[in-house]
Structure 1
């Protein structure tokens, strides 16, 4: 079955679902809230799928698949069903509309562009109203400049002029692929990603660091052989474990005082330092 035929079937089923009378809707909502009756919740959701489809249709111009918009709207519908309070005597459709719209808008903001379109409520309002207001202003007064249109929109939505200009630039431009040919490259085959600056160490620095790290691990393993069993246990628990043990914990485990544990630890560190300095003077800073 193709995606288009599946979408049509879903719309047909939603439109065929019977409307709920106010009393029946209230009774189903009570069953869901008081008895966790999922069947009642699903019946409410099914009866309002046409609302989801209608809401999703208002956002089809953002270039995302209608089926995805409907699915996200359905998520909002289920969230509304979970939060609905029938004792407030409000029709479910009125309450659910906000959740459906919010779910669809959040999905659009996450997927419309690789650059996030907005995070605050003001930015979201700007994202979803900029095109409409710009077209309305331009149609009403052909003498308006782009700057004056931006100023009008900023005043209407209560956002800064800079926010309007930045958002307009985002909506007007396309996402650029990092694999697209670079117009400034020295080679005809150069891609945009070839000119990105990396903060990672250079390959030779990474190899040097890896070799040095392996060498130091071997030196440390050799130095640890100079410790006796109790010293090794204390150093392992205090210095080599991810969550170091306290002096009190080790004292209780070994049957000695915490001061004695500290003394043994200090002596063990000195033995390690001496062994490491013999291997490499730069390792004198260990512990």
Structure 2
């Protein structure tokens, strides 16, 4: 799916990147003071200084993911959200540098954004698929560089083993990454006004077929209604419970026996007798009994 930035947005993004990269680096002691001030006193000035100083980390991460075709400014924005999430959860007392802690949050926020927006088809819904999505290109490039040829079945097998995924997942992701989304409203070429959707077959029934199907359904319903009139009350109850109910609502012979006060075998006999009457009634219309799904 193509994503574009206008020239004004690109210039604004470039200015923001230059300004962020010029921010001074923090010493370990000053970083600890800022993180403690935000955690203990909710000092927003300390938070802003901490975020500004490590915005270069966001930009660096965003640049590593720019080849996925999404605007760098959007990647930076999402990475900034990850940076703020890291600042909200950072524990300075653990003596870990904030940059080390924040890297995971920044990368995770950017990756989630890419998976949501790279294609209109949801990609990377599981942890293994996400790992495959972000590592397939790199591993494929390494294999092709070492072998001097394209990726073959042996190379795909190696990728599957390295990432601990199924070979079919590798093949499927390779196909997904090799193509891009295309609008069905896009023109076939510059010389024609025809769109791709104009060549999609409509698999729905046509007006004539729909009318015939509707007529057949109504006709069968009339035949069945007339045929049921030839049954007595007990036979009709059995047919409705055994032959006309939805699959999950079909009543067993034993249950019907208890309900009617007869044995299971007697219910079976009554059912067969009722089916015989229905077949005879339906055949008077020149129809086949299985048109009404009454065959035993």
Q: Is the 8 A contact 2:143 2:151 kept in 1?
A: no
Q: Give the structure 1 partner of residue 197 of structure 2.
A: 192
> How many angstroms does 1:15 deviate by?
1.3
Structure 2 distance, partners of 1:23, 1:181, is: 60
Matched, 1:9 2:15: yes
Matched, 1:111 2:117: yes
User: Stretches of 4+ moved more than 4 A in 1?
Assistant: 196-199
Matched, 1:33 2:33: no
Provide structure 1 residue ranges, at least 5 long, that are not aligned to the other structure: 183-187, 206-287
Q: Look at both structures and tell me which one has the larger radius of gyration over its CA atoms.
A: 2
Alignment of 1:251-270 (within 5 A): none
> How many angstroms does 1:12 deviate by?
1.4
Q: Give the structure 2 partner of residue 21 of structure 1.
A: 27
Which of 57, 62, 69 is the aligned partner of 2:68? 62
Deviations 1:89-135 (A, max 9, x none): 10000000000000111111111111122021211110011011111
> How many angstroms does 1:153 deviate by?
0.5
Structure 2 distance, partners of 1:173, 1:38, is: 45
- Cα RMSD (Å) of the superposition? 2.7
Q: Is the 8 A contact 2:140 2:151 kept in 1?
A: no
Report the 3-state secondary structure (helix = DSSP H, G, I; strand = E; otherwise coil) of the residue aligned with 1:162: helix
Q: Give the structure 2 partner of residue 80 of structure 1.
A: 86
Q: Is the 8 A contact 1:181 1:192 kept in 2?
A: no
Q: Give the structure 2 partner of residue 94 of structure 1.
A: 100
> How many angstroms does 1:181 deviate by?
5.8
Q: 1:113 to 1:28 in 2, by over 3 A?
A: same
Structure 1 distance, partners of 2:201, 2:40, is: 57
Which of 48, 56, 61 is the aligned partner of 1:50? 56
Q: Give the structure 2 partner of residue 133 of structure 1.
A: 139
Provide structure 2 residue ranges, at least 5 long, that are not aligned to the other structure: 1-6, 212-296
| Higher RCO, 1 vs 2 (CA within 8 Å, ≥6 residues apart) | 2
Q: Is the 8 A contact 2:184 2:195 kept in 1?
A: no
Structure 2 distance, partners of 1:54, 1:135, is: 22
